[in-house]
Amino acid sequence: MTDKNNQLDQKRILLIHPLGYRKEAAGHDISRMANIMPPLGLAGIAAYLEREGFAADIIDCYAHPDSDALILDYLREKRPAFTGFSCTTSSFLDGVRIAELVKAELAGVRTVFGGVHVSAMQEKVLDDFPVVDFVVVGEGEETLTELLRAGNSEPAGVEGVIFRDGNGAVVYNGYRQTRLELDSLPFPAYEKLAGYPDAYMLPIFNYPKAPNTSCISSRGCPYACSYCDRSVFRRNFRYNSAEYLYGHLRYLKEKFGIRHINFYDDQFTFNRERVVDFTTMMIEQPLGMTFNCAVRAEHIDFELLKLMKKAGCWMISLGIETGDPDLLAQHRQNADLDMLAEKIRLISKAGIRVKGLLMMGLPGETESSIRKSMDYVFSLPIDDFNLAKFTPFPGSPIYRNIHELGEFEEDWEKMDCMSFRFIPHGMSRERLEELFIRYYKSHYQRPKVILGYVAMLWKSPDSWRRFIANFFDFIKFARSNKRLGSDGE
């Protein structure tokens, strides 16, 4: 039995999802108003650790920004021996801040960092940030379990971990040599997320029903695009079986009343047989649920799309990136815009909404390429789109020589794809911002798009409720960028 007065609970860990910026700014963050996604990685790790005999709890600072006091209260009451942090590049420094807060409150607690940023930076994290005790590289379930089992011992034999040895030297044990069988994993511990599912929400107009949520049914991607981080799963690709997937959705429906799912997979349809089996189950044994997914154009066909529609597929997202074929060929495999356009028309023909995923500011971007991209996108039956500001992240192939390709301001806290940190040769930040706003305005001023959003009054009434509730914040955001849209053309 743990003596809470002077000992730490060696079988307990607090998992923390940092906000990434000052809590005072959270209420004005347009991205949070539109979308708060549950930290699925932490929920999955918590479920795995609990199955292995450890106590794991989660505090999600992104969903609940004013969480510092909650973290301190937890430390005083539960006295965990470990705290774990899952960080993106933009949230990493906030994770460091919280880790310092944790160490100041609870002597002897050890801090473990995981996620895409530290998996890419590896030993440099421990070299530069003394508050970090361990880094987990790659998948976290088995590595973190073995690290907790080691307790106060040096984790010399634990694959996938970086630590300081008794002499203070940084030691990296390398990637794990074996990979998890995904069907062997328990469903994520959604119940450990405070306020779930109501505290989380998909992007406005991206779902028909609430409550809704996200889940992951695969890991990795077999492709090697220049802008994608591959430090966690590398080029390995695995997926849950159709049976596991159907059981996961049934669990979410029965336990939490979920009515719509967004599959947060890079390649949902990569294995066609799996999707056929899953959709057949959804048709023959209906759950009363709909779903979204992301695909690559190479891995869909009209027969599959019709089956997906019948099974409840509401929207499909595709990575277009840019409508300039020459620019796309520099950054992506199989850069065939004609084939992509054909598949987008097939999705629309099947009665499924289409969302295009695009980037502006890639290395090699010009005003001409942006105009070509706009012409391409607006020629297609795309119902919704997301235009990200290209950001070169550690772990992506292009990061290695990014300074040769333009001007890069590597400010981690601002590397969230919401601002132009990289400026391609021949462009300026001001001009990119002007063209970015014009791109968005041009899309939302199209009659077809306007009618599509009007139709959401009955297709997605909850989206309109949220839009109206945040109307003045959206208007304030739009007005703050209004000057960027007027360029005399």
Kindly report, residue by residue over 2-11, the tens digit of the pLDDT.
444 569 999 9
- What letter represents residue 399's amino acid? Y
If one looks up domain 202-485 in CATH, what number appears? 3.80.30.20
- Identify the pLDDT of residue 487: 33
Exposed, middle or buried by CB within 10 Å (0-12, 13-18, 19+), for 336? middle
Angle (CA) 111 116 122, round 5°: 65
* CA distances for 301 relative to 251, 297, 305, 474, angstroms: 30, 8, 6, 38
Tokens encoding 42: 């932490």
Q: What residue spans define the domains of the chain?
A: 9-172, 202-485
Strands (E), 150-236: 161-164, 170-172, 212-215, 218-220
- Identify the pLDDT of residue 488: 32
- Identify the pLDDT of residue 333: 75
Using alpha carbons, select from 322, 326, 384, 406 the residue that is nearest to residue 359: 322
13-71 confidence digits (pLDDT tens): 999 999 987 766 655 666 666 789 999 999 999 999 999 999 999 999 999 998 999 99
CA distance 295 to 96: 35
pLDDT per position in the chain (489 positions), as tens? 344 456 999 999 999 999 987 766 655 666 666 789 999 999 999 999 999 999 999 999 999 998 999 999 999 999 999 999 999 999 999 999 999 999 999 999 999 999 999 999 999 999 999 999 999 998 999 999 999 999 989 998 899 999 999 899 999 998 888 889 999 999 999 999 999 999 999 998 999 999 999 999 999 887 778 888 776 666 678 999 999 999 999 999 999 999 999 999 989 999 999 999 999 999 999 999 999 999 999 999 999 999 999 999 999 999 999 999 999 999 987 789 999 999 999 999 999 999 999 999 999 999 999 999 999 999 999 999 899 999 999 988 899 999 999 999 999 999 988 899 999 999 999 999 999 999 999 998 888 888 988 999 899 999 988 888 776 665 565 555 543 333 333
Tokens encoding 323: 């409508």
- What letter represents residue 328's amino acid? L
Provide φ and ψ at 13, rounded to 5°. Answer: -140, 140
CATH topology of domain 9-172: Rossmann fold (3.40.50)
Tokens encoding 134: 């361990």
377-429 confidence digits (pLDDT tens): 999 999 998 999 999 999 888 999 999 999 999 999 999 888 999 999 999 99
- Identify the pLDDT of residue 184: 97
- Identify the pLDDT of residue 129: 97
How far does Cα 247 stand from its chain's mean position? 23
- Identify the pLDDT of residue 223: 78
User: Residue 350 is inside which H or E element, if any?
Assistant: none
- Identify the pLDDT of residue 232: 65
pTM (whole model) above 0.85: yes
User: DSSP class of residue 36?
Assistant: B
- Identify the pLDDT of residue 6: 67
Widest CA span in the chain: 73
- Identify the pLDDT of residue 471: 66
- Identify the pLDDT of residue 292: 98
SS3 134: strand
